[in-house]
Chain A
Amino acid sequence: DTAVSQTPKYLVTQMGNDKSIKCEQNLGHDTMYWYKQDSKKFLKIMFSYNNKELIINETVPNRFSPKSPDKAHLNLHINSLELGDSAVYFCASSFRRGLGTDTQYFGPGTRLTVL
């Protein structure tokens, strides 16, 4: 009965590989987000989808591509992984677009380590 879930929880991989992180929410929310927590601990928004429409696309390398098959899922694909991609990635969801004050509910995070 987890609200926002992410898989895997830990991901260790070699440079140059392609990997995906999956996110699912069972809250019935319309909007989902991906955040990256870097080595300095700042949480930075990467992408956001509302009902499968991309609404936030921050300046991230195009090796990162979000994919939303339906409004309950937002997956993050990363191609040609680099050392600097090592971080904790958080997925989040909120009820609806158009009300920027809606609470965002976060998943537990995926710790990605690139060797």
Chain B
Amino acid sequence: DQQVKQNSPSLSVQEGRISILNCDYTNSMFDYFLWYKKYPAEGPTFLISISSIKDKNEDGRFTVFLNKSAKHLSLHIVPSQPGDSAVYFCAASDLKGSGNTGKLIFGQGTTLQVKP
């Protein structure tokens, strides 16, 4: 009963093109969503987040879209660069329900490969 799922284990795109990573969730109480990026032999690092009161948040080449009715979020990377090759984790939180403890529910990650 995984509440956050990333159904594509891997994605390969050409440098300069758009990368779209997808994430689905089941818990309608989730109100805060994040993307983390992970390189081999390192821990995940925060990339971008979005509150449930918004449907889009942008930071440079990275944009996260939230579709609450579909319980779906996506991360767009434009343009993709070889240095973006990593594992991307989607995470969600029920801020009120968790008592603002910072409890995050993670997906299983999608490995992105950007080819030069």
Contact = CB atoms under 8 A, between A and B. Distances in A.
Interface of A: 4, 31, 33, 35, 40-45, 48, 50, 55-56, 90, 92, 94, 97-109
Interface in B97-116: 98-109
Contact of B32 (A4, A31, A100, A104): A100
A104 B100 contact: no
Interface residues of B, number: 27
Contacts, number: 71
Interface of B: 2, 32, 36, 41-46, 49, 51, 89, 91, 93, 95, 98-109
Contacts of B36: 106
Given A45-B104, A56-B98, A100-B103, 5 more contacts: A42-B107, A50-B101, A100-B93, A100-B98, A102-B102
B101 A103 contact: no
Contacts of B95: 100-101
B41 A48 contact: no
A108 B42 contact: yes
Nearest to A95: B102
